[in-house]
Structure 1
Amino acid sequence: MITQEQQKEGAELLKTLAHKAWESSTFKEQLIKNPITTIESVTGQKVQSGVNIIVDDQTDTSKIYLNIPRRVEISELELSDEQLEMVAGGTDLIGGIIVGVVVVAGGYFLGKAL
């Protein structure tokens, strides 16, 4: 099960990688060519074996990219207090879950499943 803390750590990792790529063309090139080694150097942790990471430079403003994230079973997610309140109140969680899936996907880069 992916905890809320692991989701936050995954989101922070994705944010850090994007900012570093925006600031340094050398880093961006390394991340695109060898994402596993680059991510390991940033985090100081090994990437989970058997994981293939694809980095696509989406900075070209003449193109629009659509990412279809992997499907995550709701039972794999730990709901935050706010999400639990939404469920109790009968509010639709789909939008929140979709955002959570993207964040969780970032957490799977590392062996301990951020």
Structure 2
Amino acid sequence: MDLSKDSKSLNEIIYKAWDDASFKNNLINSPVSTLQGLLGKDVKLPTGKKIAVVDQSDDTTFFINIPAKPKKEELDVELNEAQLDFISGGGDPIRTQGPIG
């Protein structure tokens, strides 16, 4: 199960954490086993990955999430002719082939 692509499951997790303090505490302290119990299926993470649950429900605090820095190869993108034309102002966004990136 890929939690990052399953918005229904993510919403279910968030709503349950809002309504159930015990569940929220378990989710923070043991995210994988808590999610497996809720979803009724294994949660398999890619090798070397973990789940970090941060309680950001305190409305008196402004939270800043620092995402992972992109790898150089993720920044080196080759554009096709239509994309280059669009970026330079000469292209038609309706006819541009494919997303940039």
Q: Which residue of 2 aligns with 1:16?
A: 12
Could you say what the CA RMSD is over the residues aligned between the two structures, in angstroms?
Answer: 3.5
5+ residue gaps, structure 1, are 76-86, 95-114
Q: Which residue of 1 aligns with 2:21?
A: 25
Give 1 or 2 for the bigger CA radius of gyration.
2
The alignment covers a number of residue pairs equal to 76
2:19 aligned with 1:46: no
Residues of 2 paired with 1:51 and 1:40: CA distance?
Answer: 16
Q: Which has the higher helix share?
A: 1
TM norm structure 1: 0.51
Q: Which residue of 2 aligns with 1:37?
A: 33
Point out which structure has higher relative CO (alpha carbons under 8 A, 6+ apart). Answer: 1
Write out the 4+ residue segments of structure 1 that deviate beyond 2 Å after TM superposition.
68-75, 87-90
Q: Which residue of 1 aligns with 2:56?
A: 58
Q: CA deviation at 1:25?
A: 0.4
Larger CA deviation: 17-26 vs 39-48: 39-48
Q: Percent of counterpart pairs with the same letter?
A: 28
5+ residue gaps, structure 2, are 78-91
